[in-house]
Amino acid sequence: MNIDTETIQHRCTDPVFERGQTYRREGRIQQLDRFDDLVSAVVSGSNPYDVTIKFSGRSLETQCTCPYDGQGDCKHVIAVLLAIADDPPEDESERIEALLADVPVEELRAFVHEILATHSTAREQFLAQFGDEHKSVGEYREEIGRLFEQHADPVVFEAIDFSRFFDIAEQYRERDRYLAAATVYRAVFEEVDENFNWIDGSYDHYAQTLQTALDGYIDCVLATDPSPEDFDAYAGVLETRAAAESEINNRQFWRALDDLEDRYDE
């Protein structure tokens, strides 16, 4: 995790960098953990915000649940990056790997069983990784809809974290279960589009979420090598959204539809 102050400064505006320094000095980082190349943190602002930073070679992927939608990273991410540059957190993955090598299989199975019984998110990821079935679009949409309801006060100012759904979709893709992954992506873009009138902040975050879900859906649909009949059904999902009465995201859906059709014809 080789990162310096100069690199961090280039990732944000000067005012944000100064506020990130202040947050770091004030001890607002409540939790900072590392597992391999992924750092997770909780930073105290007007609310506690979850920050995730993934180091991948020379690139960084950052995410924060705060409502910031300006240029570059937010002050919470900057505070965490400064903390990492000053004192990189210990990598817990090495200790976990050592323990896994020594834990008896039956004890490990019992531990996994308890975790799956009490943590629905872990259970869903487990099923995506090893199961043969998957939830419907409607079931995923209900879960996403509840997130909007929980964050609406009465409108949504903050950036809702949809990473759990994208992680599940990625697990399906790694197993070549492209239709299952497409189901997750479709649920995300449909529900985000449906609830866009609730959003009053973090517009870039939701626009990017919508685009990521659309890109994933298109990739997965094409990966199935669909018949003309199946393709029409998949394309119809996008066309329905593009032609909806609400014009907030119509252009984004029309562009996605054009992209799908162009790539299918290649």
pLDDT value at residue 15: 96
Instruction: Give pLDDT tens digits for 148-159.
Output: 998 888 888 888
- Per-residue three-class SS string for 135-178: CCHHHHHHHHHHHHHHHCCCCECCCCCCHHHHHHHHHHHHCCCH
> How far is CA 119 from each of CA 145, 157, 221, rounded to the nearest angstrom?
20, 28, 31
Check residue 224 and report its DSSP letter. Answer: T
- Helix or strand or coil: residue 38? strand
pLDDT value at residue 46: 81
Q: Which residues of the chain have pLDDT under 70?
A: 1
pLDDT value at residue 211: 95
Distance CA 84, CA 31 (A): 12
Closest to 43 measured CA to CA, from 14, 1, 81, 9: 81
Query: Residue-wise over 104-122: b if at least 16 C-beta within 10 A, else e?
Result: eeeeeeeeeeeeeeeeeee
Check residue 88 and report its DSSP letter. Answer: P
What does pTM read for this prediction? Answer: 0.74
